[in-house]
Structure 1
Amino acid sequence: MNGTIAPATRYLDLPGGRIAFDDTRHGDGAPVVLLPGMLDSRTAYRHLRPLLAAAGRRVITMDLRGFGESSIPWDDYSPAAIAGDVLALLDHLGIDRAVLAGSSYTGASVVKAAGDAPERIAGIVLLDAFVENVPPNALQRAVVGAMGALLVHSPAFWGLYLRKAAFPGPKPADHEEYVAGLVAALRTPGRKAATRGYVRGDSSPVGWTAAVRCPALVVMGSKDPDFGDPALVADRQAAALGARKVMIEGAGHYPMADHPEATADALLGFLADLA
């Protein structure tokens, strides 16, 4: 954790299961809630969280349904369901307003939460998210469907993506160990059903941004392999949200891991403007 001690794991019990999270508890301004992408855990932010906390921010990281230390079986793994979990967590912690950051799949979740509860959300950050993505053609839909099936049935395929594609530039020093842990987690009993739930979820909604009224920041890696044209997708998101856009040169799909300092600079500048 970049030489810092991670906060202890805490839990929120909901009607459908248990959500794991941690909380630095102290800091100025609106708390920042960080959501990982699908099939990942809150330790995706292990290199970013200490930088934000060291800058005086209260930082909360949350595991998603079915992954990390949250319970595995749920009846709904959609971005909208995760948005409800985030709002429930704010209630649980007695937080009136927060800034939400979503990575990849959960970019849609923070957009949904901001639209559903505008009085609770001070700002949102999209980290290489799929919201307002360029609509796929028939071939692209077929490819995505085939890749989804591989993810469900072959955890090794997820490891291959993380090792060979998601980080086209520098990798964190602990990358191999981290990827091995994620692949092992996919082999946990019951995890296949959770993986299937994410693969079938609508991570690329178009139109949800229309309900957002809070300030927004779009952060995108310039070499993100998940998008044919990362800058174009970032422009679409920024236009839809009236957001500031930050392209991180050389970053892949997870800038908080391969370029944590640049990602922290972008978030801290955005948070300072909110204050």
Structure 2
Amino acid sequence: MNATATTATRYLELPGGRIAFDDEGTGSAVLLLPGMLDSRHAYRHLRPLLLAAGHRVVAMDLRGFGESSIEWADYSPAAIAEDALALLSHLGIERATLVGSSYTAASVVKAAGLAPERVAGIALIDGFIENLSPNALQRGMVKALGHAVLRFPSLWGLYLRKTAFGQAKPADLDAYAAGLVASLRTPGRATATRGYVFGDSAPVGWSAAVECPALVVMGEQDPDFPSPAAVAQRQAEALNARQVLIPGAGHYPMAEDPQATAAALLPFLAEVAAAEAAAVKAA
């Protein structure tokens, strides 16, 4: 793997726009994808723990958010999967473990199915994939919430401060949420917001193509699911994956309890790295 490392923002130019990312550390590579309407700094508290454990950590902004360009033709999880694979190629990373949060859990699943030769493992953090199909009332509520956020971006900040997190909110939550709300008000950002909130955020069936090791991490008190444990179990069964519930955590355990999230993720990363090394030795 290429050992190039820097904490400065870098950019990958793609046909439809540019993707912002940063790249730090050496060792087995981990690519972090944030959830929708968020930035790569969603992993700001987890990332140092991964670096300290000896991993190369690459974090990317999604289409339309963070420091990536805003207007794209497609904001779907499948399109983001293609961006992730393009970034690995750009950096000369032959194989990596992909970590997806919320909306992008589907993206890492899709990437593993599309390019098994590039994806050594995947980890889903409070992901929307393989969930039970929403009923008409739930679909209506999601649509209404999407329209509300488009019209009143401050509602996203309210969700983050009052609902999304469990028992232990990160100390910088107010400032972080304010930054995301300000981002939603950037000229043109409504196009990207609309692409996410009205897209297919929970595809079913993609897991069947996954052959690599997988880990499902779920906040035990995630308010986005009626039964977080049941969702985690469903995903774990679909992916033949291990599952870890983070006690007291909500939808963003990597920010509210990074130590517990690292305790779930690091042994998995070590197992993937060991399997990769054994495969190289056997070859």
Same fold flag (TM > 0.5): yes
Shift of 1:150: 1.0
**Corresponding residue for 1:68?**
66
Gaps of 5+ in 2: 1-5, 275-283
> Do residues 145 (structure 1) and 132 (structure 2) align?
no
Matches within 5 A, 1:96-111: 96-111=94-109
Counterpart selection for 1:197 from 192, 195, 198: 195
Shift of 1:145: 1.1
> CA separation in 2, counterparts of 1:182 and 1:210?
34
> CA separation in 1, counterparts of 2:189 and 2:266?
35
SS of 1:28's equivalent in the other structure is: coil
> Do residues 259 (structure 1) and 251 (structure 2) align?
no
> CA separation in 1, counterparts of 2:232 and 2:259?
20
Counterpart selection for 2:50 from 49, 52, 59: 52
**Corresponding residue for 1:85?**
83
For 1:13-53, what per-residue CA distance to the aligned partner results, in whole angstroms no more than 9, with x for missing partners? 001101000000x3222x00000000000000000001100
**Corresponding residue for 2:17?**
17
Shift of 1:245: 0.2
> CA separation in 2, counterparts of 1:183 and 1:259?
23
For 1:59-113, what per-residue CA distance to the aligned partner results, in whole angstroms no more than 9, with x for missing partners? 0000000000001111111100000000000110001101000000000100000
> CA separation in 2, counterparts of 1:130 and 1:93?
28
> CA separation in 2, counterparts of 1:69 and 1:171?
25
Shift of 1:169: 1.2
**Corresponding residue for 2:168?**
170
Runs of 4+ in 1 over 6 A off after TM superposition: none
**Corresponding residue for 1:246?**
244
What is the TM-score of this pair, normalised by structure 1? Answer: 0.96
Counterpart selection for 1:183 from 181, 184, 203: 181
Contact 2:77 2:107 in 1 (8 A): yes
Shift of 1:168: 2.5
For the aligned residue pairs, the C-alpha RMSD in angstroms reads 0.9
Contact 2:143 2:198 in 1 (8 A): no
**Corresponding residue for 1:3?**
none
> CA separation in 1, counterparts of 2:262 and 2:148?
33
Shift of 1:273: 1.2
SS of 2:99's equivalent in the other structure is: strand
**Corresponding residue for 1:223?**
221
> Matched residue pairs, number?
268
Contact 2:77 2:201 in 1 (8 A): yes
> CA separation in 1, counterparts of 2:166 and 2:219?
10
> CA separation in 2, counterparts of 1:88 and 1:154?
34
SS of 2:164's equivalent in the other structure is: coil
> CA separation in 2, counterparts of 1:124 and 1:155?
32
> Structure 2: which amino acid aligns with 1:27?
T
**Corresponding residue for 2:279?**
none
**Corresponding residue for 1:27?**
26
Gaps of 5+ in 1: 1-5
**Corresponding residue for 2:114?**
116
